């Protein structure tokens, strides 16, 4: 065909066949991006690692809390309904939840049919009328939280075992204590004093040892007889495993998921990393802690023995998504360095109770 010669009816323009496919793929990709994303199917609770998170742990609700405290529940509900299309700001547990979802994406790539993933449940004593704002906030941040437990002013703790809860996080210390008393791993979560960037691709969880992973046996000896007797006791019992503490089961669940990556040759690229951060000294009392973990078939990726030194500076380097400790002194020190810290109200250190940050009367946990 000569240049400028008109096309016969129905005759394709030269090069049209070559360019049609790329244009079609480009258009398809554009419309696929506009379509709602298909979310994965929720696992059966008994097959998953279930993390129950309260609304005030996941989101910041300071203004709503003030209204509840000063004006009562009816005004609180009215305010929530009037603002239900305004998403809440992220709370202290938000980065932790995002990291759980990042791990889930990797697990589903490797094990498409497995339900051995993290399952997040929003647990709150809010009234159901507030649920729309919570749903809107979850959708706004593209979180995958399909299970809700809204108890309308009653304590939700009685439902945690039915959800097969492996860990419960709340801003309400009384509810956390209630859960601990029921034998459920739980902690009161606090916002850090300043924002510190955390990993977007690797979940990092740091644990204190005594009265968190282990029982408070050794802390009782320190409290009753002092450090010298404690060191003697640990040396004498080095090969006797400590009893388990309230969060041993959660470390066990993390280890189970880590092994799914190890079996694929991804130990060094595992998106879960765990840390033991303890005030114990390595030479005099560290061996018993490590041998206890070994006797349970567990390990942490890193073990930091601080011999009484402050934990905050080390945690600033680790940048965990969450750090668990039974003593508010260490929780406050972690907060000051920008770490999201969680208090585990267990063991002899709770009597008398450590001074905690000012606690507001909870409207919703």
pLDDT of 1 above 90: no
In sign, the C-alpha dihedral spanning 354, 360, 361, 365 is negative
The answer to whether residue 105 is domain-embedded is: yes
Give Rg (Cα) of the chain: 25
pLDDT per residue as tens digits for the range 43-72: 988 899 999 999 999 999 989 889 988 998
Q: How confident is the model at residue 126 (pLDDT cuts 50, 70, 90)?
A: confident
> Does pLDDT of 212 surpass 60?
yes
Residue 66's domain spans which residues?
47-188
pLDDT at 238: 84
pLDDT exceeds cutoff 60 at 8 = no
Pair 71, 118 in one domain: yes
* 122-131, 170-179, 298-307, 328-337: the lowest-pLDDT one: 122-131
Distance of alpha carbon 2 from the chain centroid = 69
> 178 and 211 in one domain?
no
Check whether residue 211 and residue 74 sit in a common domain: no
Asked if residue 205 and residue 182 are part of one domain, the reply reads: no
Last residue of some domain: 139, 156, 188?
188
Q: Parallel, antiparallel, or unpaired: how do β-strands 118-124 and 302-305 relate?
A: unpaired
Mean pLDDT of the chain: 87
In a domain, 34, yes or no: no
Residues 107 and 180 in one domain: yes
Percent of the chain exceeding pLDDT 90 equals 64
What pTM does this model have?
A: 0.84
d(CA 60, CA 57): 7
- Write down the pLDDT at residue 359: 41
**How far apart, in Å, are the Cα atoms of 323 and each of 6, 24, 106, 331?**
74, 50, 23, 8
Query: Coil, helix or strand for 343?
Result: strand
Which residue did the predictor score with more confidence, 25 or 220?
220
- The owner of tokens 């399952």 is 119
Same domain, 247 and 333: yes
Residue 222 has pLDDT above 80, yes or no: no
Q: What is the largest CA-CA distance in the chain?
A: 103
Q: Are residues 144 and 86 in the same domain?
A: yes
- Rounded average pLDDT over 281-288: 87
Give me the catalytic one of 62, 113, 172, 208. 208
Determine the pLDDT at residue 269: 95
End-to-end CA distance of the chain: 76
Which domain CATH number covers 206? 3.40.50.1000
Q: Tell me which residue has tokens 């508010």.
A: 328
Q: Is the pLDDT of residue 354 over 50?
A: no
Over residues 173-185, the pLDDT tens digits come to 999 999 999 999 9
Q: Are residues 243 and 313 in the same domain?
A: yes
Place of tokens 């279930």: 50
Is 342 found in the same domain as 237? yes
From residue 123, alpha-carbon distances to 30, 151, 152, 265, 323 in Å are 37, 8, 11, 36, 21
Whether the ω angle into residue 252 lies within 30 degrees of 0, i.e. cis, is no
Mean pLDDT for 192-206 is 93
Between 3 and 291, residue with greater pLDDT: 291
The closest of 164, 124, 122, 129 to 145, measured between CA atoms, is: 122
Q: Is the residue at 324 inside a domain?
A: yes
> Do 210 and 139 share a structural domain?
no
Same domain membership, residue 220 and residue 339: yes
Active site residue 208: yes
Q: Is the pLDDT of residue 18 over 50?
A: no
Of 146, 167, 188, which one is at a domain's C-terminal end?
Answer: 188
Residue bearing tokens 């063991």: 347
Please count the structural domains in the chain: 2
């Amino acid at each position: 065909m000569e240049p400028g010669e008109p096309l016969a009816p129905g005759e394709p323009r030269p090069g049209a066949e070559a360019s049609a496919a790329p244009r079609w793929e480009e258009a398809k990709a554009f419309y696929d991006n506009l379509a709602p994303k298909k979310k994965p199917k929720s696992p059966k609770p008994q097959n998953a690692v279930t993390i129950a998170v309260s609304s005030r742990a996941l989101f910041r609700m300071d203004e709503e809390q003030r209204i509840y405290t000063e004006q009562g529940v009816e005004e609180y509900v009215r305010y929530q309904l009037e603002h239900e299309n305004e998403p809440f700001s992220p709370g202290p547990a938000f980065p932790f939840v995002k990291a759980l979802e990042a791990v889930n994406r990797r697990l589903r790539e490797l094990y498409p049919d497995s339900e051995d993933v993290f399952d997040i449940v929003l647990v709150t004593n809010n009234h159901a009328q507030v649920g729309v704002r919570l749903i809107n906030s979850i959708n706004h941040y593209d979180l995958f939280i399909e299970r809700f437990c809204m108890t309308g002013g009653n304590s939700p703790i009685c439902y945690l075992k039915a959800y097969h809860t492996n860990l419960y996080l709340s801003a309400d210390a009384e509810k956390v204590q209630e859960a601990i008393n029921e034998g459920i791993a739980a902690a009161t979560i606090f916002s850090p004093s300043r924002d510190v960037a955390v990993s977007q691709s690797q979940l990092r969880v740091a644990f204190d040892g005594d009265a968190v992973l282990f029982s408070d046996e050794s802390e009782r000896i320190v409290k009753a007889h002092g450090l010298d007797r404690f060191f003697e006791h640990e040396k004498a019992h080095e090969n006797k495993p400590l009893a388990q503490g309230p969060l041993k089961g959660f470390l066990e669940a993390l280890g189970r998921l880590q092994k799914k990556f190890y079996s694929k040759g991804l130990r060094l690229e595992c998106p879960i990393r765990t840390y033991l951060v303890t005030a114990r000294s390595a030479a005099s009392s560290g061996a018993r802690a490590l041998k206890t973990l070994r006797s349970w078939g567990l390990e942490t990726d890193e073990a930091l023995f601080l011999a009484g030194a402050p934990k905050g500076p080390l945690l600033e380097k680790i940048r965990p998504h969450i750090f668990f400790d039974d003593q508010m002194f260490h929780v406050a020190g972690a907060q000051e360095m920008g770490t999201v810290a969680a208090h585990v109200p267990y063991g002899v250190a709770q009597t008398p109770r450590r001074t905690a940050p000012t606690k507001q009367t909870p409207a919703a946990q």
